[in-house]
Amino acid sequence: MPGKVVRVVTGFIDTEVVMKVVGGFEVVAIATNDSATTLELATGLTAIPIFKASSVVIGVYVTPR
C-alpha cells in the first residue's frame, strides 16, 4: 500500500510524518529526527507504511547510488 508523504513536521526529538495512501486515507507516523533524516523523508516522497503491533514503521524505495 504505497503512498505519498504529504506533511513532515520536525519537532525537538521526533518527526511527525503524514502519508496519503490508496483510497485517500491518511496514515500518521512518528519517527526520530535521525531516522527521518536517514530516510530523507520529505513531502512528495513515495513511501510504504509498514504496520507493527503498536506502531507504524516507514519504508522507502532506495535507488543504489
CB-side neighbour CA atoms (13 Å) of 45: 21
- pLDDT tens per residue across span 28-55: 999 999 999 999 999 999 999 988 777 7
Amino acid at 36: A
Task: Give yes or no for a contact between 14 and 32, defined as CB atoms under 8 angstroms apart.
Answer: yes
pLDDT at 50: 87
Query: Residue 36 sits in a domain of what CATH number?
Result: 2.40.50.100
* Number of domains forming the structure of the chain: 1
Full domain range(s) for residue 12: 3-60
Position 12 confidence tier, pLDDT thresholds 50, 70, 90: very high
- Given a cut of 90, whether residue 61 has pLDDT beyond it is no
